[in-house]
Structure 1
């Protein structure tokens, strides 16, 4: 609502069938929920997280079911908003980042069939229009605009192939699915989590990657005591970078390691596991972080992990080969000077398989399309399958639902 700084005001919007349940967990009206006979009225109360009061704020809720919407107005300091979002996530909400001032637009799903029938559009036309409405980069817009014509042509060709050679038609459908998997990063974005010991330079590195000061930078170890995120676009791919709390070797043993610190580190580990890409940041100029490497060996060797050998602007004090898992990338970088950043970006894009996203090849571009083709592949690929493909090209979503059962 205002610039995210101390004294600011922020509005957190909740939408969907579970709104009421989540709101009851994170907001406590001064008069209690039992006395709220008209929940659409503004309610003053406390925003809470596990019985701890985060802030005082104002809430309102209206509608029901899929159309239920609630808004909670709080002070707009970054930490307060982060705590509200984390509390909501803990109770089942999914955080979705949208452009400021824009209304959230839902992706095409099965409940949009009626819109297809009314407009007379094919499923591909309607889903392309919906995706174009929420595309956040020029690359995404160009890609979807091209798929609006390329995908129907490819499906028509595959249908003809099935008529002549069902086995080859099955292969072509599987190739279409495989080629389409990276598309979700282009449209929905990718989450990249930075993880590592305290004072490894994660905050400096994330500021360099996003080209702005998203994280507080300090020479004091452990400055980042919870996750901080920042969004940008790299090579036309929307990316959300998350800077997690630094891990101390003895955090579980030290008397001064409070519950908040342990909780922040634990949440960071969860985000590493859920990330599309994790960047393990290690300080190459400090002593070898043997305890960290041993404790988090699985995270370092994960298929979606990259090791960033940071502070390459200083003399190295240990050999990077000591932490290089077989077949996994290690990139020498300097968050301070920017050296090695292009190689790190390329490593991130490689894990996301973005290079395989050929703008001149037909791709499926929604989860529903992939699910539908997967359903076709689970059965016999015969003349009926070819007719279903042709139905996509010429008929409305309701007809396709009747024929394909999706």
Structure 2
């Protein structure tokens, strides 16, 4: 991306009450002054002062943020216009005609990274803030945007750099009587252990960023749609006493135990000569195969318990929790003991739902009551952390054996790898890949 010209884009969605157009670049103040008119020019007012004027015929507010005290680190002007599509698009056309080009996805944040306002981990956290699917995911992203993960990685980067220098100093002065640092191998192993501790957070990180794919499955009329409605807190699916009412998958998003969830209600699984129902059953099977957690519903009030259990046994499901439903219709009935997680509920009355949510969280993140983690790495971080941690045991062993050149090479490689996480040594194509996932205007 070119970081020396002038860019502009809506920072908010067009169609709301207000649209914010963001301009950034060396000529942002001059361009903003040509587009926005008022008795007091942007150049005359103190930076960060909100002024009332017009963009074309439309009343608009404007604010100037002088470099480097701006989001991007360049001069930035924001125009706050009416958000209707016609007004916002007219204002954007005026800005682009006055010397700006349309920003690429993530280009404002890319400039913030290049100008040292954010490191790469913090830049990725900007995207996580925008896409957060739950309050816990949002709070984690905010913590990492504030530098919670970056500070730990910076500390490890500095320690690896010191250890590398220590190993290489043995090569530079092999015959000198120098006071070598003690405990270098132990320090190398301590860094490896800390890298592994960070690596262990990838599971909760993936869950909070990507969500949990939860599928509700079972035979017809087991109460799957009733459970979907109960979990969503709304009537999303039609519920009747007629088996096979749901013939297609129904998808919805929700939050369970603080975790973002993609919830899928499936058609009841059974043999059928109806071609439409067969298609629904096939879709159900594909949904189950792609699930991370599966609630397999069993009708506790039915007359075909053996058939229900046999159907469940024929369809291995990831993260399966057997759910005896309709306890309100058979509160005292003795039910077969099953292997694996089992919960008894009534989707109609809500009985047992809290226990079901505990079981869900155990399957998803190994604890019934997930808490906000201090930090959590993403897939890119995890790959690089694993690579760096894998180098360090051999580096420590080589140092102990006096093989300082090999130890230094491995420490240098580990240093480069950790530097790639925070953006000190990252390649341009990696940056393009990261920032291209952002939306325009961020």
Q: TM-score, with normalisation over the residues of structure 1?
A: 0.62
Residue 398 of structure 1 deviates from its aligned partner by 4.2
- CA–CA distance in structure 1, aligned partners of residues 370 and 427 of structure 2: 30
Q: In structure 1, which of residues 356, 368, 372 is the aligned counterpart of residue 380 of structure 2?
A: 368
Match of 2:49 in 1: none
Distance 2:373 2:216 in 1: 33
Please tell me whether the aligned partners of residues 269 and 284 of structure 2 are also in contact (alpha carbons under 8 angstroms): no
For each residue in 1:254-310, what CA deviation from the matched residue of structure 2 results, as whole angstroms up to 9, or x when unmatched? xxx22221121121011112111100000001123323422431646x550111110
2:179 aligns with none
Tell me the alpha carbon deviations over residues 132-188 of structure 1, each in whole angstroms, 9 at most, x when there is no partner.
122233222211111232212222344466644333332322232222212222122
Aligned residues: 284
Q: Superposition pairs for residues 126-137 of structure 1, below 5 Å? A: 126-137=123-134
Matched, 1:289 2:305: yes
CA distance in 1, matches of 2:250, 2:304: 26
Give the equivalent residue in structure 1 for 2:154: 156
CA contact (8 A) 2:343 2:355 kept: yes
Equivalent residue of 1:128, what SS? Answer: helix
Q: Which position in structure 2 is the counterpart of 1:269?
A: 285
Equivalent in the alignment of 1:139: 136
Is the 2:217–2:295 contact (alpha carbons within 8 Å) kept by the matching residues of 1? yes
Alignment pair present for 1:383 and 2:411? yes
The answer as to whether partners of 1:194 and 1:279 remain within 8 angstroms in 2 is yes
Q: Distance in 2 between matches of 1:345 and 1:338?
A: 12
Correspondent of 2:191 among 169, 175, 196: 169
Superposed CA offset, 1:346-401 (max 9, x none): 1111111164865353321x322222223324545642213543565573744896
1:198–1:246: 8 Å Cα contact kept in structure 2?
yes
Q: Which has the larger radius of gyration?
A: 2
1:312 aligns with 2:324: no
Q: 1:197 maps to which residue?
A: 219
Are the equivalent residues in 1 in contact too, given 2:216–2:296 (CA < 8 A)? yes
1:157-306 equivalence runs, <5 A: 157-159=155-157, 163=163, 164=184, 165-248=187-270, 250-251=271-272, 257-297=273-313, 299=315, 302=317, 304-306=319-321
Checking the alignment, whether the CA contact within 8 Å between 1:122 and 1:396 is kept in structure 2 is no
Secondary structure at 2:201 match in 1 = helix
The 3 A distance-change label for structure 1 pair 247 and 400 is closer
The corresponding residue for 1:96 is none
For the 8 Å contact 2:384–2:418, the answer to whether it is kept is: no
Q: CA deviation at 1:115?
A: 5.3
| 2:140–2:375 contact (8 Å) kept in structure 1 | no
Unaligned runs of 5+ in 2: 1-103, 164-183, 396-409, 432-442
- Out of 319, 329, 343, the residue aligned to residue 341 of structure 2 is 329
Instruction: Specify the SS of the correspondent of 2:153.
Output: helix
Cα RMSD for the two superposed structures: 3.2
Q: 2:355 matched to 1:339?
A: no
Specify whether residues 272 and 360 from structure 1 end up closer, same or farther in structure 2 by C-alpha distance, changes over 3 A only: closer
Q: Work out the CA distance in 2 between the residues paired with 1:316 and 1:387.
A: 62
Q: 1:387 to 1:400 in 2, by over 3 A?
A: farther
After superposition, the C-alpha distances for 1:23-49 in whole angstroms (9 at most, x for unaligned) are: xxxxxxxxxxxxxxxxxxxxxxxxxxx
Tell me if the contact between 1:116 and 1:123 (Cα under 8 Å) persists in the aligned partners: no
For 1:129 and 1:379, locate their aligned partners in 2 and report how far apart those are by CA, in whole Å. Answer: 31
TM-score in terms of structure 2 length: 0.57
Conserved in 1, the CA contact under 8 Å of 2:247 and 2:267? yes
